[in-house]
Structure 1
Amino acid sequence: MQPLPVHRSGPAPCWGRFGLLYRAAGAFLDRRRERPAPLVFRGSTRDESPLKPGSGSEPERRRDLSPLRRLLPFLKPYRLQMAGAGIALTVAAATVLGLGQGMRVLVDQGFTAGDSGLLDRALLVLLAVIALMAVSTYGRFFLVSWIGERVVADLRKAIYDHVLTLSPGFFETTRTGEVMSRLTTDTTLLQVVVGSSASIALRNLLLFLGGTAMLLVTSPKLTGLVFLVVPLVVFPIILFGRQVRRLSRASQDRIADVGSFVDETLSAIRTVQAYTHEALDRILFGKRVEEAFDVAIRRVRVRAVMTVIVIVLVFGAVGIILWIGGHDVLAGRLTPGELSAFVIYSVVVAGSVGAISEVIGDLQRAAGATERLFDLLATEPDIRAPAQPTALPAPSRGAVAFEGVRFHYPSRPDGAALEGFTLDVVPGETVALVGPSGAGKTTVFQLLLRFYDPQAGVVRVDGVDVRAADPVDVRRRIGLVSQDPIVFSADAMENIRYGRPDASDAEVRAAADAANATEFIDALPEGFATFLGERGVRLSGGQRQRIAIARAILRNPPILLLDEATSALDAESERMVQDALDKLMVGRTTLIIAHRLSTVLNADRIAVMEQGRIVATGTHADLMRQGGLYARLASLQFDRSGDGARSAAGD
C-alpha cells in the first residue's frame, strides 16, 4: 500500500497569516498522488476480459459516483470506527475555524488595546487548541487509514475467494493479468479513496461550509468579492490539473511498460542469452525508458506552468482583498481583527475548494475501479455444487464412465473437442488414452475433474453424474500428475504435502521414497526444507516431475490420472518411477495419457482417440494386429527407437 499523505488532510502547520496563505497555495499545488502502475503485458494476444468491454488495467474515470455505494456492505462492520473518525474529523475542522475567531480577538483586544495579559492567555489557548487539533487529527488519520486498509483487505479476500470458485473456462477467455490488476491496482486505488480521499473530501466540505458561514458573519461585502475571485482561481487549476492527471497516468503507463519489459526479460534470461538478444533488448529497453522520460518532462512542464499561474492568481487575489479590506479598516467599517479573521477564513474556503476539486478526480476513478471489482465478484462460476448434491458412495470403488459425451471449449465453440465419446472404466482397471495431439485426451481428464461440463452426455464417478455431486467430493477421489508438473514457491516438504495437507513428515518422506525423489531432495542444501524457487526453478524437469508424482502418491486416491507422468524423466529415473507407479496403481483405477507408447504396453486396455472419438480399443497386441492408427503410431515410434523397443513392444 502507498503511504497516505499527511499534509493534505492535516491541520495547518503554521498559524501566521502568511503561513496560512502559503498553506492555501500548497493545497492547490499539492502534487497528485502517484497512481498505482497498471499491469501491462508485452506481446499479449489474449482476448480482453469479458467482464467489461474494453477494460484494461487502468480503472475507468466515471462522472457517476453511484458504484461507490457497493462498498457499504464492506464498511458496515466498522460503524464504530467510522463514527469515531467522524467525531475526530468534526473536531479538527472546528479547531481550524476557531483559529479565525481567536485571531480576531487577539488583534482587536491584544495588539490594538496593548493588553499583554491577553496575549499571554491567547498563547495558552492557542497551545490548547493545537493539542486538541493534534489529538483529533491523529484519531481521524489513524481511524480512517485503518478503515481503508481493513476494507481493502476484506475486499481482496472476498475477490480471491470468489476467483478460486471460477472454472478454468473463465480463465480461458479472461487474461490472468486482468484479474491480478483488479486484485492489486483497483483495490489499492480504493484504499487511497476510503483511507484518505473520502476523509479529505468530508473535512474540506465542513471547512467550506463553516468557512463560508464565518465569512458572511465577518464581512458580507468581502465575502461577495471572494466568491467572485474563487472561480477565477479554481478554473485554471482544474484545467491544468486535468492535463497533469492525464500526463501522470501516461507516465505511469510508460513506467509500467519499463517494469513489464524488465520482468519479462529477466524471467526469460536464459532464452535471451541463448539467442544473443541482449543488444536488441538494450535498445528496446532504452526506447521505453526514453518514452517514460519524455512523458515525465511534459508533465513537469505543465506542472511548472500551473504553479506560476496559481501563485499569481492566489496571492494576487489575496492581495486585492487585503487592499479592499485595508481601506475598510482605515474607514472604520472593519476592525483589524475582523480583517485578519476574514483573511484566514477566505484562505480556508479557497483551500477547501481546491482540495475538493482534487479529490473529485480520485472519487471518479474509484467509482470505475469499484464497478470493475464488483463485476468480477458478480461473475457466476460455471461449475458449482448443486443445492442438494448427491453423495458419492463410500468407500469409493473408483468406477469411471463417459456416456455419449460432446464437449466444446468456451474459446473454441465451433469445434468439438469430444464428440460421441463413450468409455467405461471398471474399478481397478488401467486404461491408456493414446492418439495424435489434439485428439481430446487431456479433455477427458478435464471433464472427469469437472473443470468443465459437457454440452451433451454424462460423466460418472462411482455411478454418480458429476454434475449432481459436489465438485470438491469428486476431486478428492482423484490424483493428478500432469505433463507440466506444478511446483509452488515453497519448500519440498510443503510441495509434496500439497497432495494431503494433514500428512505427517514421515508420510511425506514415504511418498518421496515411492516416487524416487528422496535421494535428490536430501542432496539439496536444506533437504526437505529447501525452498525450491518460483515455479521450481531450482529443480530439473525430471525432479519437478517426481515431486508431482510424490504429491499424487501422498494423496492416495482411488482414481489416478497420469498425463505423461514420466515424460520428463531420463531412462533410469523413468524405470524407477514406473516401478513405483506400477505398485501404486494396484487396486486403483488409472487413466493414462501417453504419447510414448512404450509406457502403456502393460495397460489393461488402450483406447485410441482421433478427433474427439474412440476409434479402437484393446491391448497392445490386439491393436497391432488390427492395424490402423495405433499400428501406424507404434511403427513410427518403435522403428525410431530400435530393435530393443520393438522387442519390448512384443512386435
Structure 2
Amino acid sequence: MATTPEPTKDRSAVRTLLRLWPYVRPVRTRLFTAAFVAVVASCTGLVIPLVLKWMVDGPVADGDTAGIWLGALYLLLLGFAEAGLFGLRRWLVARPLSNVEAEMRADLYRRLQRLPVAFHDRWASGQLLSRGTTDLMLLRMFLAFPLTFLLVNSVTILVGVIIMLLQDWTLGLVILGPALPVMVMCVIFERRYAVVARRAQDQVGDLTTVVEESVLGIRIIKGFGRHRSQARAFRDLSAGLRGTELRKARLLATIWAVIVTLPEVAIGAALVLGSVQVADGELSAGTLVAFLSTALALRWPVDSIGFLLAMSQEAATATERYFEVMDERPEEESGSGTEPATGDGGLRFDGVVFRYPDAEPGSPPTLDRIDLHIRPGESMALVGATGSGKTTLTALVPRLHETTAGRITLDGEDITAMPRAELRAKVAVAFEEPTLFSASVGENVLMGADGSAGAAELERALGVAQAAFVHQLPQGTATQVGEQGLSLSGGQRQRLALARAVVGTPRFLVLDDPLSALDVHTEAAVEAALRQVLAGTTALIVAHRPSTVLLADRVALLSGGRITAVGTHQELLRGNAEYAHLMSGTGRQEDDR
C-alpha cells in the first residue's frame, strides 16, 4: 500500500484553520452577517430572564393579571424572534458554504491532475478519496456550525455573566467558580483529541483504500478464493478505526462530564445561597428567578464547548490533510524555453539518467547514461530482460517522470522546454496494461485526439487496432464499457488503447508492448495495419515477441539500465548472445515498472 506523509506533530489549530480564508473570503459578507444574526438571536434569549424578573417582581407580586398576560406576550414574541433569527442564520450560510466545499473539491481535483506520477505512486488512492469526500464534509460542517457558534457562545457567555453580575455579584462569583478548571480541562482535551482525530481520519483513508482495491480486484479475490483473508484485513482495519473512535468518545465524554457537572454544581450552590438571601430579604424573588434563568440559559453555550472544540480539531485535521495534497509541487507547465532546437530530428536520448525518488540512497540508477537516436519516421524496438527499465524509459518521453540527468529531444527541441500540453499533443502512448474509463467506447478512443476528431478518425483508428468487435456491442461505439473496461476482455481493452494512441495521427508514438494480450491471428492483422501508421511517425516500441520486433526498422537492447546494442533484428540476432537468448525464450517476459 502506498504511503502518506507523517502528520505534523506541533501544529496550531487556529493557524491551520486560517488557511481556509482564501476560500471563505468571497462569501465573508454572508458569513459575518450570519454570525451577527446568531449573536443577536442568542442575546435575544438572554432578555427572557429580564422579562421574568419584571413579571415576578411586578405583575405576579401585585396580582396584576393583565400584566401577567402582557409578560407572556413579550416572552412569546422573544421566542419567535429568537427562532426566526436562527432560521435566518441557517439560510444565510447554506448556499455559500456549499459553494466553498465545491470550490475546494474542484481545486483538489485539479491539483491531483497536475501532480506528477511519482506522487500518485507514493500515495494510497483511498487517502486521496477520503480527502475529497469525508474531510471536505467535515470542513463544511465546521464552517456552518462550530466556527459561528464558537463566537456566538463566547459572546453569549460573556453577556450572560455580565447580566448575572449586575443582578447579584456574589452569586455571579459562585457561578464563575468552575471557570478555571473548565479552561484547564479544555486545553488538555484539545491537545489529546487532535492526535486521536488525525489518527481516525488517516484510518478512514486506509479503510477506503482497502474497499477500493477489493472492488477493483474482485476477480482476483474470487479467482484465488481470498475473500476470507481480505475480510480479515478489512475487519482488522475496521477494528482499529472503531478503537480510535471509541477513544475519541471517551475523551469527549470526559470533557463533557467536567463541563456539565461543575457548572451544575455552581448553579445548585447559587440556588441555595440565593434562596437564603431571598428569605433574609436581601434579594428579591424576581432577581433570583432572573439570575437562575440566565444561568440555565447559559447551560447550552457552556455544555457545547467540548463538542465545538472536538469538531474544530477534526476540521483542523481535515484542513491539514487537504493542504498536504495542495502543497505538493505540481508538474511545471513548461521549461525555460531558452535552448534553441538543434539540427537533429526525431527522438533522441542524450546521456539520460533516471533514479526513482523513493530509491535507496547510493543504489544504482534505473537508467544510466542512455544514448539513443530514433531518426524521423523510424520505428525503434526496445528489448530487454525483466527489470531492465524499458517501461521507465518510455515514461520519460511524455514526462510522466522527470529525468535525473541528461536530456531528451523531439526534433531537436528539449522536451523540458516545451509546455506539457504541447509535448503530450505530439506524443501518443499506449501502455501494456490499458486503462479505460467509465464512458462510451467512442469517448475512450477519441480521448487520444483533439476536439476536431470525429467519426471518420474514430473508424480509422478502430480499423488499425482491428477493433471491429465494437460494432457488435449493444450500442456500438456508444456502448458504455464500465469501470476500467472490465466488461471487455484483456485483448479488447488493449486494442481500444492502441486505437486511442493512433486516432490523433501523432508525430511521435510510444508503445509499451501493445499487442501482448492478442492472439496470434489478431496480432498479425493489427501488425499489418500498424505498419502503415508507423510509416508516417517516429515510434519507440517496447517489444517481447519477435513478431513485434519485426514491426521496427531497428532494435535497441536495454541491459542493466543501459543501451548495450543497436541494430536490425537480424544483425543483433547474429551478433549479440543476450538478444538471441531473449528472442529465443518461449515465455513472454513481463516488465518491471
Does TM, scored on the shorter chain, surpass 0.5?
yes
The yes-or-no answer on 1:97 pairing with 2:67 is no
Q: Counterpart amino acid of 2:43?
A: A
Q: Is the 8 A contact 1:398 1:428 kept in 2?
A: no
- Quote the residue 1:7 is aligned against: none
Deviates more, 1:321-330 or 1:370-379: 370-379
Match for 2:437 among 458, 465, 488? 488
TM-superposed deviation, 1:574: 1.6
TM-superposed deviation, 1:126: 3.0
Q: Give the secondary structure class of the aligned counterpart of 2:585.
A: helix
- Quote the residue 2:155 is aligned against: 206
TM-superposed deviation, 1:588: 1.1
TM-superposed deviation, 1:527: 2.9
Q: Is the 8 A contact 1:391 1:469 kept in 2?
A: no
Q: Is the 8 A contact 2:256 2:303 kept in 1?
A: no
Match for 1:461 among 398, 407, 410? 410
TM-superposed deviation, 1:604: 1.1
**Once superposed, what is the RMSD of the aligned Cα atoms?**
3.5
TM-superposed deviation, 1:74: 1.8
- Quote the residue 2:17 is aligned against: 68
Equivalent residues in 2 for 1:539-618, closer than 5 Å? 539-618=488-567
Match for 1:517 among 444, 452, 467? 467
Counterpart CA distance in 1 for 2:177 and 2:487 is 69
- Quote the residue 1:411 is aligned against: 358
Equivalent residues in 2 for 1:131-142, closer than 5 Å? 131-142=80-91
Counterpart CA distance in 2 for 1:87 and 1:308 is 30
- Quote the residue 2:454 is aligned against: 504
Equivalent residues in 2 for 1:14-93, closer than 5 Å? 44=1, 46-49=2-5, 54-55=6-7, 62-93=11-42
TM-superposed deviation, 1:560: 1.0
Measured at CA, do residues 634 and 223 of structure 1 come closer, stay the same or move farther in structure 2, by a change above 3 Å?
Answer: same
In structure 1, stretches of 5+ residues that fail to align are 1-43, 642-651
CA deviation map 1:65-98 (0-9, x unaligned) = 2222222222221232123213312221221122
TM-superposed deviation, 1:186: 3.4
Equivalent residues in 2 for 1:425-436, closer than 5 Å? 425-436=374-385
Measured at CA, do residues 70 and 389 of structure 1 come closer, stay the same or move farther in structure 2, by a change above 3 Å?
Answer: farther
CA deviation map 1:369-420 (0-9, x unaligned) = 4344334333323644136577989xxx972111222222222252222222
CA deviation map 1:529-576 (0-9, x unaligned) = 332222111111011111111211222211111111111112222223
- Quote the residue 2:591 is aligned against: none
Q: Give the secondary structure class of the aligned counterpart of 2:62.
A: coil
- Quote the residue 2:56 is aligned against: 107
TM-superposed deviation, 1:198: 0.5
TM-superposed deviation, 1:264: 4.3
CA deviation map 1:338-371 (0-9, x unaligned) = 2222112212334323323432333344334434
Measured at CA, do residues 556 and 79 of structure 1 come closer, stay the same or move farther in structure 2, by a change above 3 Å?
Answer: same
Counterpart CA distance in 2 for 1:580 and 1:303 is 68
The yes-or-no answer on 1:529 pairing with 2:478 is yes
- Quote the residue 2:144 is aligned against: 195
Measured at CA, do residues 623 and 82 of structure 1 come closer, stay the same or move farther in structure 2, by a change above 3 Å?
Answer: same
Q: Is the 8 A contact 2:30 2:92 kept in 1?
A: yes
Counterpart CA distance in 2 for 1:366 and 1:501 is 41
CA deviation map 1:15-58 (0-9, x unaligned) = xxxxxxxxxxxxxxxxxxxxxxxxxxxxx3x4443xxxx23xxx
Counterpart CA distance in 1 for 2:288 and 2:222 is 72
TM-superposed deviation, 1:150: 2.6
Give the TM-score, by structure 2 length.
0.87
Equivalent residues in 2 for 1:349-498, closer than 5 Å? 349-381=298-330, 383-386=332-335, 399-412=346-359, 414-498=363-447
Measured at CA, do residues 416 and 284 of structure 1 come closer, stay the same or move farther in structure 2, by a change above 3 Å?
Answer: closer
TM-superposed deviation, 1:436: 1.1
Measured at CA, do residues 518 and 101 of structure 1 come closer, stay the same or move farther in structure 2, by a change above 3 Å?
Answer: farther
Counterpart CA distance in 2 for 1:291 and 1:375 is 23
The yes-or-no answer on 1:226 pairing with 2:175 is yes
TM-superposed deviation, 1:636: 3.0
Q: Counterpart amino acid of 1:450?
A: R
Counterpart CA distance in 2 for 1:167 and 1:475 is 14
Measured at CA, do residues 580 and 338 of structure 1 come closer, stay the same or move farther in structure 2, by a change above 3 Å?
Answer: farther
TM-superposed deviation, 1:592: 0.7
Q: Give the secondary structure class of the aligned counterpart of 2:584.
A: helix
Q: Is the 8 A contact 1:439 1:610 kept in 2?
A: yes
CA deviation map 1:205-248 (0-9, x unaligned) = 11011111111111111101101245567877988999999888
Q: Counterpart amino acid of 1:408?
A: R
- What is the count of residue pairs matched by the alignment? 585
CA deviation map 1:251-306 (0-9, x unaligned) = 88888777665554454333333333445556666666677777777887888888
Measured at CA, do residues 226 and 448 of structure 1 come closer, stay the same or move farther in structure 2, by a change above 3 Å?
Answer: same
Measured at CA, do residues 237 and 429 of structure 1 come closer, stay the same or move farther in structure 2, by a change above 3 Å?
Answer: closer
Q: Is the 8 A contact 2:55 2:68 kept in 1?
A: yes
Q: Counterpart amino acid of 1:274?
A: G
Counterpart CA distance in 1 for 2:201 and 2:417 is 49
Measured at CA, do residues 309 and 150 of structure 1 come closer, stay the same or move farther in structure 2, by a change above 3 Å?
Answer: same
- Quote the residue 1:27 is aligned against: none
Q: Is the 8 A contact 1:404 1:421 kept in 2?
A: yes
Measured at CA, do residues 112 and 513 of structure 1 come closer, stay the same or move farther in structure 2, by a change above 3 Å?
Answer: farther
